[in-house]
Amino acid sequence: MREHRLYIGGRWRAGGGGTAAATSPSTGEPFATVAVADPDDVDAAVVAADAAFAAWSAASPFERASACGRIAAAVSARRDELARALAQDQGKPLVAEAYDEVDELAVYFTMAGEDAKRLAGALPASTSADRRVLTARVPLGVVGVVSPWNWPYTMGAEIFAPALAAGNTVVWVPAPTTTACCALLAEILEQASLPAGVFSFLSGPGPVVGAAVVGHPLVAGVGFVGSVETGGNVAARAVGKTQLLELGGNGPMVILDDADLELATDAALEAAYLCAGQSCTAGERFLVQAGVRAEFTERVVEATKERVRLGDPFDPQTTMGPLNNEATAAKFDRHVADAVAGGARVCTGGRRTPGLPTSLFAEPTVLDGVTPGMAIEREETFGPVVPIVEVSSAAEALRLTNASPFGLTTAVFTGDLERGLAFAERARAGWVNINASTNLWESHLPFGGRAGSVSGRGRVGGRYPMETFTEPKTIVYPAPRFSQ
């Protein structure tokens, strides 16, 4: 059984909080132990990061880009090991999903290195001809990153790769249920010859370790990806610090009466079943116009039965693995039961699959007759469900879309591009796809919740976190005088 330790100030060390077992959601068997940090470990990591900041921020962006390139190359070299660790720890199907996440992880570091070379300032005008002004973007200092278990590698790296490349130092706290695979990524960063203290890796319960990091007085910026509730706690503890919060979603997928139903069906499977539905961008509710609801429902039920294979993540034929933890599985149960009690009909699935090694294998589920106000319609389920809500018109679909407190992603399917664009412009969301799944995104584009929603603040994606974790510094100096 492999033992994973903390990485603080350039050294691997035991945690002051002891150890915890890492257990596979697909087998129920422990396969590793992970160190648990205590407040002294947190303080040591942040103090080391603060001490390393001056030299790291003074390094050339090209030097930092070179370090990012070494990390990306090491990720690619250890692709199989990282993917297998992800399948074991998180439950993602190895072939269908885990390799893709590792490949995207390498992209994040490559992209961060390239963006760091282009982080530019300006030479604004002064009110006086005798003065010159320049502004430069400078890193903040220590950035604390707390990341989730659904995409253990990429959701952390989408924040800390650009933060590091921009000259910040980083203390990373991944989710407890996927710490073991994240420890492998920490090993890769350690082997990339970063100066001691530039990157530290801590593990342990979020309310203890994560909270201590984001509230530490030497931490200047905080990046968090996770639930709305935890995000609120993080924001409160990090008051006064720069914050990037990418929180939950209840993204509707809208199917209008002129939509290509074959295309919409394919997208529905991706929206609902990718990562077993455990995605902030999942299609959490499907608002389907009355004239096509019956046919769309029939198509999705048939496609679910034919194309979604639930099972062992290491089986190459598996397309969907287990849910990651019991709390998520219990919410799936609760939302389905609430919908059925309110009159919805289970067309397929609706329960956990018996006869498998653990109770975390939730069946891919289609619910028809879901109505506004049901828990599954207004909350984030984070499970493999297609909840179908009938709407009379595009206007009703837009009203229901904008009635939600969430504002992360939305998708609309229509044969009329103008109709789709008009819907997209009015949808209260940070990202809208037309004729593509809510789960479609590109890693270099700005992604985050709409202002005023509970889905977060700031943007991940490409250079956008780099802008969050740097700030403009203004320098005013006398105009140079020419002498002959």
Nearest CA to 332 out of 356, 308, 363 is that of 363
DSSP structure string for 52-86: HHHHHHHS-HHHHHHHHHHHHHHHHHTHHHHHHHH
Per DSSP, the three-state class of 4 is strand
Residues 6 or more apart whose CB falls under 8 angstroms from that of 137 comprise 119, 120, 121, 166, 467, 470, 471, 472, 473
Q: Say how many C-beta atoms besides its own lie within 10 A of residue 10's C-beta.
A: 15
Our CA angle for 325, 326, 331, nearest 5°, is: 110
CA separation for the pair 159, 459 (Å, rounded): 10
> Given 181, 182, 275, 280, which residue is catalytic?
280
Is 280 an annotated catalytic residue?
yes
The H or E element spanning position 473 is: strand 470-478
User: Cα separation of 135 and 475, whole Å?
Assistant: 6
What token pair was written down for 72? 């990306």
From 97, 101, 158, 246, the catalytic residue? 246
How far does Cα 431 stand from its chain's mean position? Answer: 14
Active site residues: 246, 280
